[in-house]
Structure 1
């Protein structure tokens, strides 16, 4: 039964396989976004704009630390998918147990680090004085439960690597419903404010982590987990870090640089902070189809790289890119038209709504540029080349974006060019990524796997 849940992407119609794999992945990612989005909606409607700003503005700090681990799970997924595609069962088991053992150690470190660096980072973002206390409360509670989030991400990465994107979806559907129920109970019934939504989130994350581990432990397949085999194989860990560390550093550095972007936004006041945070929650949903297609193509590339099939990888690039562009343009057109109605889900405060609409409409017109950098970066990671995407994205999303903000804020006091700092980074990244991809001779790297 369990075998039928896996998708072997080394044969069969490419579009069908990508869509079948990406759809549950998309739904799963959508439910994962619900964790923080529901937090934002509930505090915005039942607590107030300051609490909304507290919950949404802390996302950049969460993403900085979590980004490091997401990179590690990406590296694990690539290595596991390559062993799965090459049908090397022994190495597959070692890589899975190494990844899970390392996850536990990293989770403890991130929990402690996140708790203690919260106050200085909130000050660094030039957070409005009315937002500092609830933001600190929310973020510290969130980090105390980060181990659950990390284990869910890793167990899901393992299942996706062997072609199973359905069960991670089922876990998220159940725990997202649990999160909504707990949010409402803690905030409305117990009047716990931002602390309530933080506790609801970490409880739901631990439940999803438990379900992921339960499936892997009870499995009878070659990828099953045994607590007796939990140890770190240093040679495999090095391979995982070779792919995952660049991806993780890239995500963490980009997220950290967004703290400085957030500081520019915060300088326009608490309403601007809440409006930007609301836009961020919406944009996270808008980008999900693209990210799901890119992640599906990474698994597709990893399996076909293990099977030494470069021609099929090239076909996968063309199909994924076309699919991503069409879907992104359609969604963004609807987002632009519906911006005023979408923002109302978060707040009815007129000042917050005004900024939220500005941020949505200034950015969504350029989202399709992300298709080029995300798809090509996903393919490069699938064949084990994560260093080049890291440097390209760090330059585009950190250095170039900060240079742009430094210059533009000295030329005009308007919020509009500040809100365009994301699109200018996307465009630069897409140009550089495609140039590198064409010059990288990536086909030759497949034969070294």
Structure 2
């Protein structure tokens, strides 16, 4: 099931790798879409606002989990590309231990601070209780989020993007059934939607674990492999945590933006929630294309082939931008119709707010093709410390717009906050990515220009 990306057509390799990953990302976002659609349709717009009131902090915490797991896969992909299976297994075992410790700490801290987090976000009082129940269950499911994301990242690092998709597809069907049962039959409200999501995520993670133990020989760990290594732990932390923090830092700006939007009232909270769910869903292809290019770059860095690294990045950017133009046009002209997935026609004000948010986002969607590919490939080449500052620029841009322009222009400023962040991050990450590729070239030539984790 593994795939070596150091030989063969770069375009075919990246796209064949990205397709299952894309479908998997779409399915993962379907969790959120299903939650929001069922909650909005069966429980009403206030319940939809309850689910969406904490979306930024969910992205902060869960994004850290996903980014960290993705970072742990980078050295594994590099050693796989270099054919060093002993090192690969060493890094795999150490990543499991670090992930377990991280899961315990994150779950404990987030569960204890759940109420304070919602207060910090200026969550309206009429939706506070439901928002708390939903967020608490999501936080308690952090270990399962980390489990799936770590194992799927490791499988992708050895070239298998199909298996995580298959297991995610199974859990998505389960999620739909559980959503309907928990919300409609058991009448557990917003908490029921969260329970359905966590259980489905747990199933997909467990399936990945069983598959690896039974079928993936390159990842089967002997007693000899199950030993902690200080250099491996250090390198994994250097690669994984900055990638996780990059997601979290980006989310801090989103939290400030959400807090500013929450103060505008539940109509705008509901409209923003519906629009954000659609936006997140349509952003899935960017992650797939960028991850494909990143794994391609990592494996070819291990193989010492600079020409293929450059070609892979160009392909990722080109495909991402092309998709961005198409997706942007859809959001501009069909944003209101898409919002009907979550909002009843009778909630005209909420529909208008959601459509407005998507309309303005559509004009700038193409920039995400550049941003995601350059950022992921910078990380894939081993420079997660530099990539993290693209998240810092996004955070600064979102906070600036939220604090300066939202008080003056209200919801209209909210509709331009993401775009300001995307442009600012592109201005930073493009030259940084070029710099990292050049350093990789010097390393391959024998000058050892890479950071310590690549040596």
**In the alignment, which residue of structure 1 is the partner of 2:372?**
374
Per the TM alignment, residue 207 of structure 1 is displaced from its structure 2 partner at its CA by 0.9
Alignment of 1:51-62 (within 5 A): 51-62=47-58
The residue aligned with 2:162 is 166
Per-residue deviation, 1:229: 4.8
What's the offset of the Cα at 1:71? Answer: 2.3
Aligned-residue offset at 1:230: 4.3
In 2, the alpha carbon distance for the partners of 1:300 and 1:258 equals 30
TM-score, normalised by the number of residues in structure 2: 0.94
Q: Distance in 2 between matches of 1:178 and 1:370?
A: 31
Q: Alignment partner for residue 403 of structure 2, among 394, 403, 406?
A: 406
The answer to whether the 8 A contact 1:101-1:230 is kept is: no
| 1:387 has 2:385 as partner | yes
Q: Report the number of matched residues.
A: 443
**Residue 336 of structure 1 contacts residue 361 of structure 1 at CA under 8 Å; is this kept in 2?**
yes
Residues of 2 paired with 1:78 and 1:363: CA distance?
Answer: 31
What residue in structure 2 maps to residue 153 of structure 1? 149
Report the secondary structure of 2:405's partner residue: helix
What's the offset of the Cα at 1:72?
A: 1.7
- Does the 8 A contact of 1:336 with 1:360 survive in 2? yes
After superposition, the C-alpha distances for 1:156-195 in whole angstroms (9 at most, x for unaligned) are 0010000000000000100000000010011111111111
State whether residues 7 and 164 of structure 1, in contact with CA within 8 Å, keep that contact through their aligned partners in structure 2. yes
CA distance in 1, matches of 2:147, 2:224: 18
1:42-191, aligned counterparts within 5 Å?
A: 42-191=38-187
Aligned to 1:222: 218
Q: Residue 194 of structure 2 corresponds to which residue in structure 1?
A: 198
CA distance in structure 2 between the aligned counterparts of 1:285 and 1:331, rounded to whole angstroms: 11
Contact 1:217 1:226 in 2 (8 A): no
Q: Cα offset for 1:18?
A: 0.7
Aligned equivalents of 1:154 and 1:340: distance in 2?
36
Q: Deviation per CA, 1:133-172: give whole Å up to 9, x if none.
A: 1000011111112211110111100100000000000001
Distance 1:123 1:415 in 2: 21
Seen in structure 2, the aligned counterparts of structure 1 residues 226 and 203 have a Cα distance that, compared at 3 Å, is farther
Q: Does structure 1 residue 310 correspond to structure 2 residue 306?
A: yes
Is the deviation greater in 161-170 or in 362-371? 362-371
Q: Which residue of 2 aligns with 1:334?
A: 330
The DSSP-based 3-state class of the residue aligned with 1:10 is: coil
Which position in structure 1 is the counterpart of 2:451?
A: none
Q: Does the 8 Å contact 2:328/2:365 carry over to 1?
A: yes
Partner of 1:357 in structure 2? 355
Cα displacement (A) at 1:8: 1.1
Contact 2:253/2:397, CA 8 A, preserved across alignment:
no
Provide the rounded CA distance (Å) in 1 between the counterparts of 2:177 and 2:85.
41
Q: Is the deviation greater in 292-301 or in 98-107?
A: 98-107
Alpha-carbon separation, structure 1, partners of 2:49 and 2:171: 25
Structure 1 residue 220: Cα displacement: 5.0
Q: Determine if contact 1:151/1:209 at 8 Å carries over to the other structure.
A: yes
Deviation at 1:436, TM superposition (A): 2.4
3-state SS in 1 of match to 2:174: helix
Contact 1:383–1:445 (CA under 8 A) maintained in structure 2 = no
TM-superposed CA distance for 1:57, in Å, is 2.2
The residue correspondences of 1:3-14 to structure 2 (distance < 5 A) are 5-14=1-10
- Aligned equivalents of 1:185, 1:55: Cα separation in 2: 18
1:45: how far off? Answer: 0.4
What is the aligned partner in structure 2 of residue 283 from structure 1?
Answer: 279
Which TM-score applies when normalising by structure 1?
0.95
CA-to-partner distance for each residue in 1:276-306, whole Å, 9 max, x for gaps?
A: 1111111111111111100111100100000
Uncovered stretches (5+) of structure 2, i.e. residues with no partner: 449-453
Shift of 1:81: 0.1
Relative to 1, partners in 2 of residues 1:342 and 1:228: Cα closer, same or farther, differing over 3 Å?
Answer: farther
CA contact (8 A) 2:324 2:367 kept: no
User: Are the aligned partners of 2:24 and 2:164 in contact in 1 as well (CA < 8 Å)?
Assistant: yes
Shift, 1:60, TM fit: 1.2
Contact 2:254 2:398 in 1 (8 A): no
Q: How far apart, in 2, do the equivalents of 1:197 and 1:438 lie? A: 44
- 3-state SS of the aligned residue for 1:420? helix
User: Equivalents in 2 of 1:115, 1:364: separation in Å?
Assistant: 36
Deviation, 1:228, is 8.0
